[in-house]
Chain A
C-alpha cells in the first residue's frame, strides 16, 4: 500500500519535523511512503494519505490546504489549532474566515469576539485564551479518522462530536544516542528544554528553583530553547538575581548538543499550562535517557505514570508543589533510581519506535481498506440473513455481535 505523507521535515525547526524524521524510516519498513513536499501535488498512485497537523500556521497551513483537497487520516498533534487557523485566515487578510471559524466554535459570541480582535479592542485570543476556542472543527470535519497521542485529545475530539475512528498511538521514543553528558558545574542540575513561552510556567519554575537553591546552593538550572517574541526571559532572570552560576542559558541547540545537555541533568522539568493537547518531545527525550521528570498535572502530561513523573497541578500551590518535587529528586538517590528504572521500562513498553510504527501501519491500512472489508462482510452476512428470511431485528443482533469482535461498523 502506498501512502502520501504530509508533514514538516528537517531542516524546519519544529517538534513535528523531528517526530516525522524519527518515524519515517520505521514506517517505511512496513508500508510504501511517499513524502509530499510543500507545494507539490499528491502522488497519483497513493491509496491513502496521512496529514500531520499541529498548531503552527507556517509549518502546517499548507497541509490543511492539502487535506481540504483530498481528505485523509489526520495526526492531530495539538487539539487547539487557534494559532494555525488565525495564521491561515487573518494572517492572509481573510478576516471573514477567522470570524466563521470562531462562530463555528462559539456561536455568535465567538464571532463578536473575533470582531473585537480584528478591531484591536481586545488582545488576540490566540495569545490569551486559545484553549477556550480550539478552532479544530474544520480539521475534524475533513478527517475520516484521527491519530492522537493522548487520551486527553481523544476525549476532546469526542466531546467535539467526532464520531469516526480514533487511533491513540504514543509518541515514539528516540533510541538513546549514547551522548556524552555536557560538562556542567553544579549539583543537582535541573533541565528545562524547548521553546520558552508563557505556557511553559517559567516564572513558577524560577521561583521554585530559587527556593531549591536555599537547600542546594550548588543547584544549576539549564534553560535551553528559543524564547518567544515578547517573552522577557533574560530580564526575568536578572530581576531574580539568577546569574550564570545559577542558570545556564542556551538558545537553539542542535540535536547532538540537546542530548548532551539533557544527559547532564539530574532531573528534567516539562511544565505546560494551559495545554493545547500537545505531547512534549523534550519529555519523551528525557524519558529515553531515563531522566526523572517533573511535569504539569494537565493534558497528556498527567497521563504519564506516577512512578517516573512527578506531577505538579497548575494553580495556587504550584510553586510549593514544584519545589517539593525538585527537593525530593535532588535529595533522594533512591527516588531517582526508582524513577529512572520506571522510565526505562515505560519507554520500552509504550513508546518503542517499532511498536509505534506498527500501530501507524495498522491505522493506515484499516483507514484505507476497512470500509470495503466491512461492506463485503456485511453484504455476505446480510445475504445469508435475507435468504433465510430474517429481518431487521436479527440484523441488529448480528451488528451487535460484529461490533463485539471488532469487525462491525
Chain B
C-alpha cells in the first residue's frame, strides 16, 4: 500500500511529535508499505494565521502523486488532519490546545475580543469537521482521547506509541535526577529547579533545548543552584541513553501533557519516574509507588519525592523494573497492525 504520513513541522523544532511521525513512516516502510512523510511548515500566530496554515493542508492534493494513487493517509497532529483524502486515518497526537484547555490560561493564545473568541471557535469547527470525516480515529493517550471527546464528542481508540530506539541500559542509580524535555513553560522544569532549591542534597541534569532555557538558567542562578543543576542542552542519542543509564530517577511533570514518551524511555532504562497529579498523559504510565512517584505539583512535594528516592534506591530499582515490563509491551508491530486494520 502507498501511504502518506502527515505531520506539520515547526521549522527548527524537533520533539516527540516529529519523532513519532518519522518512526511511524520508517516502521510502515519496514512492514512493506511504500510510505512517505509529508510535512508542511506550521506557524500559529498572529491572528488568523492558525487557520490559513491549517487550510494549507486542506488545499493539498494527496489523492495521488506522480500518476500513482496514494491509498491511505495517516494524519497526526493539528493541523495535518485537515488534509482531504477518501481514506484518512488520524492517530491524534494533539489538537490545537490553545483553543481548548489552555484557553484563558497563561499558555493560551486567544484574547477576549470578539474576533479572537470567534477564531477559537473556528478552530473547534475545523476540528469537528476534519476529524469527524476520518475513517478511524486513534489517540496517542487516554488524555488526548478524553480531551477529544470532551471538545468534539468524537471517540478515539487509545493507541500508545512505543518509545524511540536508544541503547537503553541501566548502569547505576546515581546521584542526579534527570529531566528530559523541550524547554518550554508547559514542561514545568522550574518545578524541579525549585525542588533543588528546597533540598540542597539534590542534583539534576536538564536535557533539552527550547525557548524557556534562558529563564530556567536565570532561575537556577537566582536560587544558587550552581553546580547542582546542569543544563546539558540538546543531547544526542548516545548521550541521552547514557544519562538514562546513570540517573537515579527521571522527572517528567508537564502540565496536562498529551502523552509523553519520556516515562517509557525511563522505564526501558529501569528508572522510576517522578511526576505530578496534573501531568495528564504520563499518568497512563506512572503508577504511584509501583513505577514511580506521583506527587502534588509543588516544589516541596517534588523535592520530597526525589529525596525519598535518594534514600530508597532499592525501591527505585524495583519500580524502574516494573516500568520496564510495561514499556516492553509497546511495539511498533502492534501499532502498524492496529492502524492498518482500520484502513
Kindly list chain A residues whose C-beta atoms are within 8 Å of the C-beta of B116.
Answer: 369
Question: Closest CB of chain B to A387's CB: distance in Å?
Answer: 14
Contact B114 A1, beta carbon cutoff 8 Å: yes
Report if A365-B58 is in contact (Cβ < 8 Å); known contacts: A377-B52, A406-B125, A407-B122.
no
Contact B129 A405, beta carbon cutoff 8 Å: yes
Assess whether A376 is interfacial by the CB under 8 Å rule: yes
Assess whether B203 is interfacial by the CB under 8 Å rule: no
The one of A48, A401, A406 in contact with B59, judged by C-beta atoms closer than 8 angstroms, is A401
Kindly list chain B residues whose C-beta atoms are within 8 Å of the C-beta of A405.
Answer: 54-55, 58, 82, 125-126, 129-130
Kindly list chain B residues whose C-beta atoms are within 8 Å of the C-beta of A404.
Answer: 58, 84, 129
Contact B121 A1, beta carbon cutoff 8 Å: no
Question: Closest CB of chain B to A369's CB: distance in Å?
Answer: 3
Assess whether A185 is interfacial by the CB under 8 Å rule: no
Assess whether B51 is interfacial by the CB under 8 Å rule: yes
Contact A372 B114, beta carbon cutoff 8 Å: yes
Question: With contacts defined as CB atoms under 8 Å apart, how many contacts are there between chain A and chain B in the complex?
Answer: 78
Assess whether A362 is interfacial by the CB under 8 Å rule: yes
Taken residue by residue from 89 to 115, chain A's Cβ proximity to chain B (1 for < 8 Å, 0 otherwise) reads as: 000000000000000000000000000
How many angstroms between the C-alpha atoms of A377 and B118 in the bound complex? Answer: 12
Contact B114 A365, beta carbon cutoff 8 Å: yes
Assess whether A335 is interfacial by the CB under 8 Å rule: no
Contact A369 B126, beta carbon cutoff 8 Å: no
Kindly list chain A residues whose C-beta atoms are within 8 Å of the C-beta of B77.
Answer: none
How many angstroms between the C-alpha atoms of A404 and B132 in the bound complex? Answer: 12
Contact A368 B117, beta carbon cutoff 8 Å: yes
Interface size class of B (residues with CB under 8 A): 20 to 34
The one of B51, B118, B124, B129 in contact with A369, judged by C-beta atoms closer than 8 angstroms, is B118
How many angstroms between the C-alpha atoms of A405 and B58 in the bound complex? Answer: 8
How many angstroms between the C-alpha atoms of A377 and B34 in the bound complex? Answer: 36
Assess whether A250 is interfacial by the CB under 8 Å rule: no
Contact B55 A402, beta carbon cutoff 8 Å: yes
Question: Closest CB of chain B to A44's CB: distance in Å?
Answer: 15
Kindly list chain B residues whose C-beta atoms are within 8 Å of the C-beta of A370.
Answer: 118, 121-122
Contact B55 A381, beta carbon cutoff 8 Å: yes
Taken residue by residue from 225 to 236, chain A's Cβ proximity to chain B (1 for < 8 Å, 0 otherwise) reads as: 000000000000
Taken residue by residue from 107 to 126, chain B's Cβ proximity to chain A (1 for < 8 Å, 0 otherwise) reads as: 00000111111111110111
Taken residue by residue from 363 to 383, chain A's Cβ proximity to chain B (1 for < 8 Å, 0 otherwise) reads as: 001101110110011001100
Taken residue by residue from 125 to 136, chain B's Cβ proximity to chain A (1 for < 8 Å, 0 otherwise) reads as: 110111000000
Assess whether B15 is interfacial by the CB under 8 Å rule: no
The one of A1, A48, A368, A377 in contact with B51, judged by C-beta atoms closer than 8 angstroms, is A377
Contact A362 B121, beta carbon cutoff 8 Å: yes
Kindly list chain A residues whose C-beta atoms are within 8 Å of the C-beta of B49.
Answer: 380
Kindly list chain A residues whose C-beta atoms are within 8 Å of the C-beta of B114.
Answer: 1, 47-48, 365, 368-369, 372
Question: Closest CB of chain B to A209's CB: distance in Å?
Answer: 40
Question: Closest CB of chain B to A359's CB: distance in Å?
Answer: 11
Assess whether B224 is interfacial by the CB under 8 Å rule: no
How many angstroms between the C-alpha atoms of A369 and B115 in the bound complex? Answer: 4
Assess whether A398 is interfacial by the CB under 8 Å rule: yes
Kindly list chain B residues whose C-beta atoms are within 8 Å of the C-beta of A380.
Answer: 48-49, 52
How many angstroms between the C-alpha atoms of A406 and B128 in the bound complex? Answer: 9
How many angstroms between the C-alpha atoms of A70 and B120 in the bound complex? Answer: 26
Name the interface residues of A387-409: CB closer than 8 Å to any CB of B: 398, 401-402, 404-407
Question: Closest CB of chain A to B265's CB: distance in Å?
Answer: 36
Contact A376 B47, beta carbon cutoff 8 Å: yes
Question: Closest CB of chain A to B189's CB: distance in Å?
Answer: 33
Kindly list chain B residues whose C-beta atoms are within 8 Å of the C-beta of A368.
Answer: 114, 117-118
Question: Closest CB of chain A to B43's CB: distance in Å?
Answer: 12
Find the A residue at minimum CB distance from B124: A362
Question: Closest CB of chain A to B73's CB: distance in Å?
Answer: 15
Contact A365 B51, beta carbon cutoff 8 Å: no
Name the interface residues of B82-119: CB closer than 8 Å to any CB of A: 82, 84, 112-119
Q: With A1-B113, A372-B114, A373-B115 given, can you name 12 additional A-B contacts, CB distance below 8 Å?
A: A365-B114, A365-B121, A366-B121, A366-B122, A370-B121, A372-B115, A373-B51, A373-B122, A404-B129, A405-B54, A405-B55, A405-B129
Residues of A within 8 A of B (CB): 1, 47-48, 362, 365-366, 368-370, 372-373, 376-377, 380-381, 398, 401-402, 404-407
Residues of B within 8 A of A (CB): 47-49, 51-52, 54-55, 58-59, 82, 84, 112-122, 124-126, 128-130
A to B CB contacts below 8 Å, 5 in the list: A1-B117, A366-B118, A373-B115, A398-B59, A404-B129
